[in-house]
Amino acid sequence: MSGKANPAVVEMRGLSTRIGNRYVHRNLDLWVERGQIVGLVGGSGSGKTTLLRQILGLIQPAAGTVRLFGQDLGGAGGVAQSAMLRRLGMLFQGGALFSALPVFDNIAFPLREMKRLDEDWIRRLVNLKLALVELETEHGRLMPAELSGGMVKRVALARALALEPELLLLDEPTAGLDPDRSRSFVNLLGQLQGELGLTVIMVTHDPETLAGLATHIAVLAEQHIVKFGTAAEVMAGDHPFLAGFRDGDKTRLL
């Protein structure tokens, strides 16, 4: 991996993750280059979301390293680590909006946390992010309970994009959406990735989302990445997980 010409946005080497006495990952390697949209797939309990948590710095590796934008996440001091993490955004499964705050304040939250902008600038930026996800300014006054499932996803995406990240992490981005809303959201994600030049890592169990967005696929099984490459390269592999996926066994993705 070290011979790659382009610098990695995310580089994991020899990563082992232990939760309690159980190893979730062992000796895992992953290299994600700028501009790639990587679909992370694997069976239930394989550690897909846990891998996102490693990138967010929420879990300390039992062994190995996580590097973001060329810097060691674990070895960085508090200030450097915070600066590094501001360069990424996270869309949680289900949106994870603050139920007691209106849409405007949900999106404004990371901007206010920076304590660098006055309220006039925050208002302008929030309205810009609403427009970016094809919502209107007046939607900012709504409470999360008043939103449809598709609107929750869009508001959560606007919040994830609030700090103009270079890396976007998506955990089951279309979960809970009907097919029409799912396709619409996938189209929006693809459009924004192209316009903003984002690097994306997404956990998904939905083959249509994978086919509609991913430039590359990483297969997580047996506690490490067993296959990584373009969709064509990955699907040509002979791992049992891939055989089940090719045969239409969608449960392999769950």
Integer Cα distance of 9 and 222 in angstroms? 24
pLDDT of residue 245: 60
> What residues contact 17, with CB distance under 8 A and at least 6 apart?
23, 24, 25, 28, 47, 50, 51, 54, 59, 61, 62
Whether the predicted model's global pTM rises above the 0.85 cut? yes
pLDDT at 98 over 90: yes
pLDDT of residue 69: 93
Is the CA virtual torsion 72, 74, 80, 84 positive or negative? positive
User: Exposure string (b/e) for 238-247, b if CB count within 10 Å is 16 or more?
Assistant: eeebbeebee
Q: Which CATH architecture has domain 34-58+77-253?
A: 3-Layer(aba) Sandwich (3.40)
Whether the Cβ atoms of residue 50 and residue 25 lie closer than 8 Å to each other = yes
If pLDDT is split at 50, 70 and 90, which confidence band does 4 have? Answer: low
pLDDT of residue 102: 97
Beta bridge partners of 37: 200
For residue 143, what are its two tokens? 């409470």
List Cα–Cα distances, 77 to 22, 58, 62, 85, in angstroms.
Answer: 28, 15, 19, 12
